[in-house]
Chains A and B, each alone.
Chain A
């Protein structure tokens, strides 16, 4: 997919661990891992809102569109 999830980058910038964020936003570590590895098909606004809130960032810091990445659609 041409949408890149930069969650691990933001986690590193905020020096936060995945399990800590998962706990804060109320999802399982497994689901956060699915999101981090780009295996998710969709993200709920509620999840995105919680991530942005706890990482103090914008949705654009988490999600990036790259035209050069081959889409699986």
Chain B
């Protein structure tokens, strides 16, 4: 694939990630504001009843969702910056390495953010239930494990990219 193609595709990815970073908070806000009007399939799969959420609970859930949302926006903006570098034809600079590392950290951060969000959501939704029906969910599933794995791999790739950067630097200083 030529450099021109890399730059063209990178531009599209940058627009996509930037667009997602902008629309994600708006969609999250709309999701919790219209939660009770959502069709059945849009409700999150939880071991407790989510339908008929009160206004205050929905707002608290919105606040809780800022945790994974913040991490997601952080990851999307990192990807956007990374593809901006590819668009400029910069593949193995210190910035590329730093952005890759940041992306890995974002993927790792997703795990505690998601864990906390699910726990907080279970408290928010079931706190009004009668004693014995209140739940605190602490879930670590396949998704969290996959994110940990991906975060670790991306950080490893950032180290490998750093070696690539050194080679490119060496090459640039070879006359």
Contacts and interface: CB of A to CB of B under 8 A. Distances in A.
Contacts, number: 22
22 contacts: A27-B175, A31-B175, A32-B175, A34-B173, A34-B175, A35-B175, A39-B173, A40-B173, A40-B174, A40-B175, A41-B170, A41-B173, A41-B174, A42-B170, A42-B173, A42-B174, A42-B175, A43-B174, A43-B175, A44-B174, A44-B175, A47-B175
Nearest to B174: A42
A34 B173 CA distance: 8
A5 B173 CA distance: 14
Interface string A22-51: 000001000110110001111110010000
B172 to A, nearest CB: 9
Q: How large is the interface on B (under 10, 10 to 19, 20 to 34, 35 or more residues)?
A: under 10
Interface of B: 170, 173-175
Nearest to B170: A41
Nearest to B173: A41
Nearest to B169: A41
Contacts of A27: 175
Contacts of B170: 41-42
A67 B64 CA distance: 65
Of all A-B residue pairs in the complex, the 10 with the closest CB atoms, nearest first, are A41-B173, A42-B174, A35-B175, A40-B175, A31-B175, A43-B175, A40-B173, A47-B175, A41-B170, A34-B175
A47 B173 CA distance: 13
Q: Which one of B170, B173, B174, B175 has the highest number of Cβ atoms from chain A below 10 Å of its Cβ?
A: B175
Of the listed residues A39, A40, A41, A47, the one surrounded by the most CB atoms of chain B closer than 10 A to its CB is A41
A66 B170 CA distance: 23
A44 B173 CA distance: 11
Contacts of A31: 175
Contacts of B173: 34, 39-42
A41 B170 CA distance: 7
Contacts of B174: 40-44
A32 B175 CA distance: 8
A35 B174 CA distance: 9
Interface in A7-35: 27, 31-32, 34-35
A47 B170 CA distance: 16
